[in-house]
Amino acid sequence: MPVEYESSSFPKKAGVYLFKTNQGRVLYVGKATRINERVRSYFATNPDRKMISELVSRADNIEYIITTSPKEALILERQLIKEHKPRFNSRLKDDKSYPYIILTSEEFPRIMYTRHPPKDAKRWGPFPHAGAAKQVMQLLRKQFGIRDKDCHGKDGCLAMHIGLCRGPCLDPNGYETIVNIVTEVLDGKAGKLIKELTRKMDDLSEKMEYEKAARQRDMIRAVRITTSQHVVSSKVYRDCDAIGIAWKGDHAAVVVLHADDGVVKGQEAWPIIYRGDIGETISMFISSHYQNRCPPRLLLTPTPLFDGTAEWLNGRRQSQVEVRTPTRGDLVTLQNLATQNAEIQLSRFIDKASGSLEQRAADECAELLGMEKVNYIVCFDMAQLIGENRVGASVSFRNGRPNKKEYRKYTVKGEAIDDLRMMSEVVERWLKRQEEWPDLLLIDGGETHLKTISKVLESNEVLGEFELAAIAKREETLFRLEKEPIILDRKGRVLVHSRDEAHRFVNTFHRKQRNRDKIKDPLQEVLGLGAKKMQTLLRYFGGRKGIEHASIKDLQTVPGIGNSLAKRIHEAINN
C-alpha cells in the first residue's frame, strides 16, 4: 500500500528522511533543511521526477533523523547511502572498490595504495582509476624516497639500495621533511611548497652550504615533475575545480577538471548510478569526492548546490569555498569543457558496461526483472541418490560470466533427505560465510522452494538484502516473492545458464562422491584396524591379495591382531 503524507508527522528541522518498506529495506535517503517541506514535495500532483511516483507507491513508511544543522544532515545522508545502497538514490558505482593513497601513522610513515584504509592514517582519494593511484604512489616514491614497506632491517632493504626509499630505519635524519613534502604534494599545495623550497635553497647557497642547497634543488625538480601535467592555460584558473555531468537513462558520468597556478592540470572521471535529479547527484558526488581531499578555493558546478553542501565544503577546507554556476567568461569555458569531457566519458562507460555478450545478457535480465542490475548471481542446486551421497553446490556468475573461483560444494551434514531441508541447511551455511551479498540469489526449484528459503533468510535477518528467486524447469518459470511468475524468454538466458551450470556442477560432484564410495577400501571400515596394523598386515601377507586369501587363524598369527579383530577383518573382506 503506498505511503501517505501526514503533515503533523514531520518536524520543521534539518535532518534526513528514509523511505522504507515493511521489511525494513531502505528505498531512498534524502536530506533537508526542513524535513516537513521536503517530504511534502514528494506528494505533489505533478512530481518533477519520474521515479517519485514509483518510490511513493513502493514505500510503506517514512522515517526521519533530526540533525543539528544541514551540514550534519549531508554527512549523515552520505553514510546512510553508503550503508544501505538505496534503490532510488544516485550514487557512485562500485564505491567500495575505489582505491586510496594513504600515509600511515607510524614513527616513519609509509605511503600505501589500498582499498581499505586504516582509520588512523592520512588518506587521499578515492581514485576512480586504480592505475592512476598506483602511478602517483610510484612517482612519489621515486622522486622523494618515501618508504612503502615495513622492512625492520638493520642493513637497509632492496628499495633503499635502488633509490626508492631513503632508509629511515638506518638514518632517520630528514625523513620528517620528506613526509611533509609528500603531504603537501598530495594536498595539492605544490606551488606554495616550491616557493618554500626555493627560499631554503637560496638561504643555503648564501651560507655556501652547497650540498644541502643541491638537495633542495633536486627536491624542487621532483615536485615539479610530479605536478607538471598541464593541459589548458588561463589567468583566472587559480585553485579551481570544475564539475561536469552527462547522463543517459540510469547511467551518468561526472568529470572533475583540476586547475591551479593558471593551468588545467588534468581530470578525474567517475561512473554514477543516476536517478533523474541533477542537483541531488552533484551534491552526493561532492560530499563523497571531497570527503578525503581538500576542496579548492573556487568550485564550478552545473547547478546550484543543495542545502548544507557549501557549508560542509567550508568546514572541510577550513576557509571559504566560493561555489559558482558560471554564465559567462573564462569560467564558462572551463565549465563547458568539463561537461564535454563528461559526455565523452559517459560513452566510454556505457560501451564498457555493455561491451560483451555476457554483460548484455545480465543487463537484459535486469531490465526483465525490473532490477537495477543483475551483475552478481549465486545459484544453488542439490543432488542425492535415495538418501545417499546427499550433496549441494552453488555457482557464481559475475557480469554474466561464470566465476569458478567462487563455486562451492557442500556435503549435507544433517539427517534430512528431502531437497527442501537439505537446501535450507546449505543456504544457511553459505549465509554465515558470505562477505558480499549478490544482486540475486537463485534457487533450482519452484514456489515451495522459494517460500522455504525465504524463511531461512528471514530467520537470519537478511531477507530484503538481495533479490530471491526460484527457477522451475517446467517452461522455465521464475518465481519471486510477492510478484507474478514469469516464463523466461531470451532476456532471461543468464538465469537459465546459471541454473544449468549449477545442475552440471552439483551432478559432477555427486558422481565423484558415488564413485569414491564404490572404490572405498573395506579394511578402512574395520573397527580397531589403524594405519600401523594395516601396514603390518600388508607386509605380513605380501599385499592385499594375500590378506584376501587368509583365514581367521592366519590373521591371528599377525602381531597385534587378536581373535575378535581377525574375525572383523575376515568379515569385511568377504562381504
Render pLDDT for 232-289 as a digit per residue (tens, 0 to 9): 444 445 678 889 999 887 788 898 888 776 566 667 888 888 878 888 888 888 888 8
Amino acid at 237: Y
Render pLDDT for 335-387 as a digit per residue (tens, 0 to 9): 888 888 888 888 877 766 655 678 888 988 998 898 888 999 999 998 886 66
Per-residue pLDDT band for 128 (boundaries 50, 70, 90) equals low
Helix H or strand E segment including 490 = none
Reduce the DSSP state of residue 517 to 3 states and report it: helix
Per-residue pLDDT band for 455 (boundaries 50, 70, 90) equals very high
Half-sphere exposure (CA, 13 Å, Cβ side) for 199?
A: 6
Per-residue pLDDT band for 151 (boundaries 50, 70, 90) equals low
Per CATH, 233-353 and 361-517 having the same topology is answered: yes
Residues of the chain with pLDDT > 70: what percent? 84
CATH of domain 233-353: 3.30.420.10
What's the average model confidence in pLDDT over 202-229? 74
Distance from C-alpha of 204 to C-alpha of 185, rounded to nearest angstrom: 23
Reduce the DSSP state of residue 31 to 3 states and report it: strand
Render pLDDT for 167-191 as a digit per residue (tens, 0 to 9): 777 677 778 888 888 887 777 666 6
- Global pTM reads 0.46
In this model, does residue 306 exceed pLDDT 80?
no
In this model, does residue 501 exceed pLDDT 90?
yes
Per-residue pLDDT band for 517 (boundaries 50, 70, 90) equals low
Name, in order, each residue with C-beta under 8 angstroms of 109's C-beta and a sequence gap of 6 or more. Answer: 103, 146, 179
**Residue 438: predicted pLDDT:** 92
C-alpha cell at 364: 537484459
Tell me which fold the domain 522-574 belongs to.
Answer: DNA polymerase; domain 1 (1.10.150)
**Residue 453: predicted pLDDT:** 93
In this model, does residue 450 exceed pLDDT 90?
yes
Name which residue leads in pLDDT, 483 or 140. 483
The whole-chain average pLDDT of the chain stands at 81
Per-residue pLDDT band for 497 (boundaries 50, 70, 90) equals very high
Residues of the chain with pLDDT > 90: what percent? 14
Render pLDDT for 51-108 as a digit per residue (tens, 0 to 9): 788 888 888 888 888 888 887 888 788 778 877 888 788 777 655 556 778 888 888 8
In this model, does residue 212 exceed pLDDT 60?
yes
**Residue 229: predicted pLDDT:** 41
Q: Where are the beta strands (DSSP E) in 249-332?
A: 251-260, 263-273, 298-300, 322-324
Tell me which fold the domain 7-89 belongs to.
Answer: GIY-YIG endonuclease (3.40.1440)
Helix H or strand E segment including 84 = helix 70-84
Distance from C-alpha of 255 to C-alpha of 128, rounded to nearest angstrom: 10
**Residue 233: predicted pLDDT:** 41
Render pLDDT for 531-546 as a digit per residue (tens, 0 to 9): 778 878 888 888 777 8
361-517 is a CATH 3.30.420.340 domain: yes
Domain ranges (residues) in the chain: 7-89, 97-231, 233-353, 361-517, 522-574
Burial, 511: exposed, middle or buried (Cβ in 10 Å; 0-12, 13-18, 19+)? middle
Helices (H), 460-492: none
**Residue 223: predicted pLDDT:** 61
DSSP codes, 149-218: S----SS--HHHHTTS---TTT--TTHHHHHHHHHHHHTT-HHHHHHHHHHHHHHHHHTT-HHHHHHHHH
Name, in order, each residue with C-beta under 8 angstroms of 338's C-beta and a sequence gap of 6 or more. Answer: 242, 243, 244, 255, 256, 257, 267, 300
**Residue 180: predicted pLDDT:** 84
**Residue 479: predicted pLDDT:** 93
**Residue 230: predicted pLDDT:** 37
Amino acid at 568: R
In this model, does residue 231 exceed pLDDT 50?
no
C-alpha cell at 46: 505533478
